Amino acid sequence: MAILNIITEEDPMLRKKSREVTEITPRIIALLDDMRDTLHKAQGAGLAAVQVGVLRRIALVEYEEGNTIELINPEIIEIDGEQTGLEGCLSLPGKWGVVTRPETVTVRAMNRNGEIFTHTASGLGARAFCHEIEHMDGIIYTDRAERMLTPDEIEEMFEE
């Protein structure tokens, strides 16, 4: 397993649409494993394959410590409510914005065994699912941000 390089916002690949996974191959399994190691090292809540330079509809979300959810070809099938809060991204280090997302989402995806499953999450989990799935369509959270935090606000946030 390997730690992959996370591309940053300057890379035009982040704006490209990812392709559907049509077959679970050993390369896809290796990518999932490497993405998990990369996500843990970066201490993020989620990581999309495009962020490591792979244009496939694959993402990991870990909003509860030790529970990494692997998503292949995910789609949001139900939303409820609304939440507004801070959001950041491993591809935009040091930046934070205020984004409104659904309070609860249900996602349908495939796991590494090719099995279809659904998962419902609220709060941070819902935010992470929306954020990572949007990455697959070339959308970055700054496109949705109501405002970005200033450097002084960010400094204050991390002092607490």
* Residue 90, domain member (yes or no): yes
Comparing CA positions, the residue from 128, 122, 43, 35 lying closest to residue 87 is 128
Strand-by-strand arrangement of the 116-122 sheet:
46-48, 58-64, 67-80, 104-110, 116-122
User: Closest Cα partner for 107 from 86, 87, 136, 85?
Assistant: 136
Q: Which two tokens stand for residue 50?
A: 């495009």
> What CA–CA distance (Å, rounded) separates 51 from 120?
24
132 is catalytic: yes
Residue 60 has pLDDT above 80, yes or no: yes
Q: Note whether residue 27 is domain-resident.
A: yes
Confirm whether 2 is domain-assigned. no
pLDDT in tens, 15-35: 999 999 999 999 999 999 999
pTM of the model: 0.94
Report residue 72's pLDDT band, with 50, 70 and 90 as the boundaries. Answer: very high
Is residue 5 situated within a structural domain? no
22: DSSP letter: -
CA 143 – CA 87 distance, rounded (Å): 12
pLDDT of 74 above 70: yes
137 located within any domain = yes
CATH number for the domain spanning 151: value is 3.90.45.10
**Of these residues, 82, 132, 134, 155, which one is catalytic?**
132
Whether 7 is covered by a domain: the verdict is no
d(CA 119, CA 11): 31
Does residue 121 sit within a domain?
yes
**What pLDDT was estimated at residue 66?**
83
Share above pLDDT 70 across residues of the chain, in percent, rounded to a whole number: 99
Q: What total of structural domains would you count in the chain? A: 1
Put residue 102 in one of left, alpha, beta given phi > 0 → left and psi -120 to 50 → alpha. beta
In this predicted structure, the answer to whether residue 126 has a pLDDT above a threshold of 70 is yes
* Per-residue pLDDT reduced to its tens digit, 105-119: 999 999 999 999 999
Residue 139, exposed/middle/buried by CB under 10 A (0-12, 13-18, 19+)? middle
Structure tokens at 26: 């050993």
pLDDT for position 160: 60
Domain assignment of residue 95, given as a range: 12-159
To 10 degrees, the CA torsion angle through 7, 29, 58, 52? Answer: 0
Tokens representing 130 are 């929306």
